[in-house]
Chain A
Amino acid sequence: MKDVRLLLRDRAGFFFALVFPLVVAVFFGMIFASGSAPGKITLGVVDLDRTPGSTEFIRQLEQGGDFSVTAIAPGEPGANSTARDAGIDAVRSGTIAACLVIRPGFGAAREAPFAGATMGVELAVDPSRKATGGMIEGLLTKYGFQQLAAGFAEPQKMRDQAKRSLDMLRLASNLQPKRRAEFETFFGNLDKTLASVPGDDDNPAGAEGPGGEGTNARGPAAAFSPLEISRIPVTQPRKGPANSYEISFPQGVIWGILGCALGFSISLVTERTRGTMVRLRCAPISAWQILGGKGLACFMVTLCVSTVLLTIGVLVFKIRPTSYLKLGAGVVAAGACFVGVMMLLATFSGSERGGSGLGWGVLMVLSMIGGGMIPLEFLPAWLLPISNISPVKWSILAIEGGLWRSLGWSQMALPLGVLLGIGGVGFGVGLMVLGDAERA
């Protein structure tokens, strides 16, 4: 109780233990709230082709919902700067996330996919946005496939293209006989396939498609797709978090636990530097009773802070845990873990200032590599195995397991076990080192 009272009267400690985590949870929950539209990727487009095909492609990019498209014009007259240069400059200056340059011939290749030409584009992406660049390429590939699918919407046109391609091949003098025969077979089969695909006139929009009546909502283009993707539900019974606060509140809880752990670590150092530890050691109690009492107080405060934050989340922000029992287990394990971390930090601190610096430094790093600041999926691949040493990662997983991931007990066993293990080791080491140091 003494330690709880000391924490409550330390305004800075109280702020970082309770107020700051609540601010973090609410703030980031609001930012990622599902009601607001996710940000589109700003994409500058330079159309060097200027054909109906490239224009149609740009229109699809604009209406697809993934990009905020801006047409890039050439630079100022006399500046000797092309539109392509202007686009690259805009990426370099951070005005746009990426610039797409549609090369000449795009439209022709779009119209004749089997003529040997490809729909060529150039993409300039800010080097600091590695993840974004990959995402953009994936999205553009999707739109590229849509061009191919659109081609199958006019099978007769495709048959004419295929026939022209076959005529060109037959006139080619440098083609080996075996390869010529293979192409003859391929285009023959292609012609047969295209002959079987119903055209727009044969299968208008709204008619029955492969999926049943009314499934051909967008005409024959919807009947053909190079890749059919079906979503598999991952979480049961709910599909993911009900709202953004179910993602932000676990992080808020972690910040609360970190604040408590740091506060108690510093208070333990303060007891040693200010002399009150002398009184404690002169009393008829053992070292483990003194340190155990400190640890118990820290643990109780982390539970209280976590309970307050989650109660606010449930009552005000409508978070709905899938299992209160598992959520409680996660909170208890995370609290126990950071009690051990608190003890460890206190052993290496000789002063309050040193304790504060060391504590914040270590806990910040653990939070960064553990997904407490940046989601793990955005970290580089080589860092992901290292994140396993961070108790923050396992704490977030354990709490989310009871909140929205709907993990089973066998799946919860690993994060709970890791957290309790770290806590036990930290407490044990701290007890050994501090206990010996106090009685030299």
Chain B
Amino acid sequence: MLRLTDLRKSYGSEPAVDGLTLDIPRGSIFGFLGPNGAGKTTTINLCVGLLRPTSGTIDLDGLGSPDEPAVRMQIGVAPQAIALYDTLTALENLNVFGKLYGLSPAIISERSAELLDSVALSDRARDRVGTFSGGMKRRLNLAAALIHDPPLVMLDEPTAGVDPQSRNAILETVRSLRDRGKTIVYTTHYMEEAQRLCDQVAIIDRGRLLAKDTVDNLIVSHGGKSVVTVQSSTGETRIQTSEPVRELVRRLKTDDVLNVRVDRPDLESVFLNLTGRSLRD
């Protein structure tokens, strides 16, 4: 669906994106995971045509680069900053953005009703966005990206600063979009979101692609071993093992176990093993 070939973007001598090559498959949720400043937003901005690459190419479904208006027609964007007009109502915002894509008033009206329903904002359709909570604005921000029903949707940290209820609603909406055949590019620095949502994850840091695979494969390849912590009458023991269940059964048979905990590797440990730093550093 989206092909990035040796994509580079520098600001002076400082590389923000450094030789990114990716093939993002159609109908999947593709995650960019990395700490702040890793180059996730820059990559998104390059993919939607907001920035010009220093070198490299971007091709959307064989149609060309996002410099072309016809290519941008295929892309929906929910930027990291909430891009809505506070003095307009939710419906008016969707109307404005729908017209940018050449939609007729009838289609805009129909889609607006569907989208507001899907993000649970139907009862606030005629209220000004300035009166919305942060979570409501994020949901409307997502709805605005979908008004023209694009096949490719770019979501740049769509749950930043959002309450848990709104976060769940957004994640469910994203999943349903994938189920309807859309391709989602999702950036986040929350490991849990990437693990929960993404079919494939690209781990980037300092503009470079460190690894790309399914979550399970990344964990198996780079996550290291699980850690089984056993608390017994003789004290606490931590065992690194690639077979935590077998190790746990063995300990239960041999030790006077009071408490157990199994820490399986996750994307955090993947990132730590790849970079030597924590995702949250």
Interface residues of A (CB under 8 A from B): 2, 5-6, 9-10, 274-276, 278-286, 438-440
Q: Which of B45-53, B185-193, B208-216 contacts A (4 or more CB under 8 A)?
A: B45-53
> What residues of B have a CB within 8 angstroms of the CB of A284 in the complex?
69-70, 72-73, 100-102
Tell me whether B79 is interfacial, beta carbon within 8 Å: yes
The answer to whether residues A6 and B87 also contact, given A284-B72, A286-B69, A440-B52 and a CB cut-off of 8 A, is yes
Residue in chain B with minimal CB distance to A283: B100
Residue in chain B with minimal CB distance to A9: B87
Judged by DSSP, the binding face of B is loop
Contact of B79 among A6, A279, A440 (CB under 8 A): A279
Contact A278 B50 (CB under 8 A): yes
> What residues of A have a CB within 8 angstroms of the CB of B72 in the complex?
282-284
> What residues of B have a CB within 8 angstroms of the CB of A275 in the complex?
79, 81-83
Contact A285 B69 (CB under 8 A): yes
The answer to whether residues A279 and B97 also contact, given A2-B85, A274-B83, A284-B69 and a CB cut-off of 8 A, is yes
Contact B51 A439 (CB under 8 A): yes
Tell me whether B96 is interfacial, beta carbon within 8 Å: yes
Cα–Cα distance between A9 and B75 once the two chains are bound (Å): 31
Cα–Cα distance between A278 and B41 once the two chains are bound (Å): 12
> What residues of A have a CB within 8 angstroms of the CB of B144 in the complex?
279
Residue in chain A with minimal CB distance to B144: A279
In addition to A6-B88, A282-B75, 14 A-B residue pairs with Cβ atoms within 8 Å of each other are A9-B87, A10-B87, A276-B84, A278-B79, A279-B100, A282-B48, A282-B72, A282-B77, A283-B97, A284-B100, A285-B100, A438-B50, A439-B49, A439-B50
Cα–Cα distance between A2 and B100 once the two chains are bound (Å): 11
> What residues of B have a CB within 8 angstroms of the CB of A282 in the complex?
48-50, 72, 75, 77
Cα–Cα distance between A9 and B48 once the two chains are bound (Å): 31
Contact of A2 among B48, B69, B88 (CB under 8 A): B88
Tell me whether B149 is interfacial, beta carbon within 8 Å: no
A-B contact pairs, 28 of them (CB 8 A): A2-B88, A2-B96, A5-B88, A6-B85, A6-B88, A10-B87, A274-B81, A275-B79, A275-B81, A276-B84, A278-B50, A278-B79, A279-B79, A279-B83, A279-B97, A281-B49, A283-B72, A283-B101, A284-B69, A284-B72, A284-B73, A284-B100, A284-B101, A284-B102, A286-B69, A438-B50, A439-B49, A440-B52
Residue in chain A with minimal CB distance to B87: A9
Interface residues of B (CB under 8 A from A): 48-52, 69-70, 72-73, 75, 77, 79, 81-88, 92, 96-97, 100-102, 144
> What residues of B have a CB within 8 angstroms of the CB of A274 in the complex?
81, 83, 86
Contact of A280 among B82, B88, B100 (CB under 8 A): B100
Contact A440 B49 (CB under 8 A): no
Contact B92 A281 (CB under 8 A): no
Cα–Cα distance between A276 and B81 once the two chains are bound (Å): 9
Residue in chain A with minimal CB distance to B70: A284
List 5 A-B pairs, minimum CB-CB distance, nearest first: A284-B69, A275-B81, A283-B100, A275-B83, A9-B87
Cα–Cα distance between A283 and B49 once the two chains are bound (Å): 10
Q: Give the shortest distance, in Å, between B16 (CB) and chain A (any CB).
A: 11
> What residues of B have a CB within 8 angstroms of the CB of A279 in the complex?
77, 79, 83, 97, 100, 144
> What residues of B have a CB within 8 angstroms of the CB of A285 in the complex?
69, 100
Cα–Cα distance between A283 and B145 once the two chains are bound (Å): 10
> What residues of A have a CB within 8 angstroms of the CB of B88 in the complex?
2, 5-6, 9
Cα–Cα distance between A422 and B87 once the two chains are bound (Å): 32
Cα–Cα distance between A283 and B72 once the two chains are bound (Å): 6
Q: Give the shortest distance, in Å, between B11 (CB) and chain A (any CB).
A: 8
Residue in chain B with minimal CB distance to A10: B87
Contact A281 B85 (CB under 8 A): no
Residue in chain B with minimal CB distance to A273: B81
Cα–Cα distance between A279 and B75 once the two chains are bound (Å): 11
Cα–Cα distance between A438 and B82 once the two chains are bound (Å): 18
Cα–Cα distance between A272 and B155 once the two chains are bound (Å): 19
Cα–Cα distance between A9 and B92 once the two chains are bound (Å): 13
